[in-house]
Amino acid sequence: MPGPLEGVRVVEMAGLAPGPFGCMLLADLGAEVLRIERAGGGGGIVPPQGPMDRGKRSVAVDLKSAAGRELVHKLAAEADVFVEGYRPGVAERLGIGPEDLRGVNPRLIYGRITGWGQDGPLAPRAGHDINYAAISGGLDLLGRAGEPPTPPANILADFAGGGMLLALGILAALHERQTSGTGQVVDAAMVDGAAVLTTFMHGMHAHGLWNGERGTNLLDGGAACYGTYETADGGFMAVGALEPQFWAELVAKLELDAEELPFHLDLSQAEKLREILAEKFRTRTLAEWSELFADSDACVTPVVPAWEAHKHPHNAARNTYIEVDGVVQPAPAPRFSRTPAGTPAAASGAADAEAQSAILADWGLSTDAIAAVRDGGGLG
């Protein structure tokens, strides 16, 4: 069955992780995504083809040629959404900025994803996830007490605060267009997204519930009832027994005497309680603890290695992971009752002139128009 975004056409200018991730989310939900690759390659990091390319097709375009720029204009005229991740001003210099494309398609949603946003003193500067997370305040929250902040790979700003926020903004703009009939620019800045993700912590801080140094608060490692514990065989169990009823069940499962334990939410006694729990968890293996807590409301689960998560019984039962082109990867989410997303196809790259011509024809270009672009040096 078609996904909920069936009929939505997206032009994605090839780039690094956040933009392709946001467009992958749209493709997963049924949008038709056409990625514009840089003809002849170029400098900088070029990620290998992988899961974020799934469900997309691509053509290689030389934006330095008039024919290449004209091709992008023609594709934008047929699209609902256009996405680029250049530094501010670059798209305008290439002749494919918002005003350039608005002239050929007033209904176009123009998604711009950058680290610092389209304005502000850092807008023209380079950066990476760790930098955007740093000034958002998000990075300051992550890590153990007495240690430097720990970056969560590049999940916080690139993906959660970047690509996910971009996709949300595009969907909101598509909804608004139903009323106005007009497109608009979506400025998705990773620093903004990383900041939004700390909203809950700001609320906790305002009520005096998140005032300690990093790693000493309720949810960042300060509480013994919310953390990880090593097992006898070197694995780890994740414990999140915050509420009294869940804590009571954890204590019962561990065969501890509740009367002899410190209050689990008293952070001043957390270290003493942590030592007790750590000693207990070291008495059994990961498999043994996993079996014991499998049907429990104690909020205890194994810490599953990332590349084995698809084997966990719950993930397997829900088909949370799929295999595309020989690569195991997370399945599309969320799920819909009437218009579920199908299993994504592997990316269809522009391997030759015939393949590119077929893709462009599907996007409404005539044989003569395609030939003109090719003769003008616009295609790679």
Label residues 54-63 b or e (16+ Cβ within 10 Å = b). bbbbbbbbbb
Strand partners, 240: 226
Bridge-based pairing of strands 109-114 and 185-189 is: parallel
Specify the DSSP element, H or E, that contains 375. Answer: helix 367-375
Helices 18-28 and 164-180: crossing angle in degrees, nearest 10, is 60
In terms of Cα–Cα distance, which of 15, 7, 18, 51 is closest to 35? 15
**Amino acid letter at 94?**
L
Q: Between helices 367-375 and 353-362, what is the axis angle to 10°?
A: 130
Distance (Å, whole) CA 163 – CA 189 = 9
Residues designated catalytic: 128, 158
Separation of alpha carbons 54 and 12, rounded Å: 13
190: which 2 tokens? Answer: 């990773």
Q: How far, in Å, CA of 174 to CA of 321, rounded?
A: 29
User: What distance lies between CA 352 and its chain's CA centroid?
Assistant: 31
Calpha distance 111→83 (Å, rounded)? 5
Give which of 370, 350, 311, 355 is closest to 53, Cα–Cα: 350
CA–CA gap between residue 333 and residue 215 (Å, rounded)? 31
Instruction: State how far Cα 16 lies from the chain centre.
Output: 12
Nearest by Cα to 8 from 189, 178, 160: 178
Residue indicated by tokens 């007495």? 146
Q: Closest by alpha carbon to 60, among 268, 321, 351, 299?
A: 351
CA dihedral 288, 290, 293, 299 (to 10 degrees): 140
